[in-house]
């Protein structure tokens, strides 16, 4: 994916009951539907970590979605920080 001036990259950590509830797969689907690149993975501390890169509005919408996640999740908090876009392509579950 080429980096444009409308591109943004966010590093996200989601805490709560977010593992074992299909959070990663649902995030991948939402990201792909939004045309975003990046990845999502479970962390050893029980949280889910992700990178979202692409159109700033689409990234903001995915961040909003992460605040509730799939219906089986119980999200406590979503921390995000902005990073320099890297030109990621595709979205993967790690």
pLDDT digits (tens, 9 = 90+) for 12-56: 999 999 999 999 999 999 999 999 999 999 999 999 999 999 999
Annotated active-site residue 24? The verdict is yes
Task: Kindly tell me if the per-residue pLDDT of 3 is higher than 60.
Answer: no
pLDDT, tens digit, for every residue of 60-91? 999 999 999 999 999 999 999 999 999 889 99
Annotated active-site residue 67? The verdict is no
The one catalytic residue among 24, 28, 43, 61: 24
**What are 83's strand-pairing partners?**
9
pTM score: 0.92
- Kindly list the structural domains of the chain, giving each domain's residue range(s) and its CATH number in brackets, ordered by start: 7-84 (3.30.70.100)
Q: What gap in Å lies between CA 18 and CA 8, rounded to an integer? A: 24
Question: Smallest Cα–Cα separation from 67: which of 1, 31, 22, 14?
Answer: 14
Opening angle at CA 76, ends 73 and 79, nearest 5: 110
């Amino acid at each position: 994916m080429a980096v444009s001036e409308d591109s943004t990259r966010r590093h996200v950590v989601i805490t709560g009951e977010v593992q074992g509830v299909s959070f990663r797969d649902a995030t991948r689907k939402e990201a792909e539907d939004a045309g975003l690149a990046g990845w999502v993975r479970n962390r050893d501390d029980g949280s889910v970590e992700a990178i979202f890169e692409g159109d700033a509005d689409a990234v903001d919408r995915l961040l909003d979605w992460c605040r509730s996640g799939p219906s089986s999740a119980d999200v406590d908090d979503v921390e995000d920080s902005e990073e320099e876009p890297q030109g990621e392509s595709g979205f993967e579950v790690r």
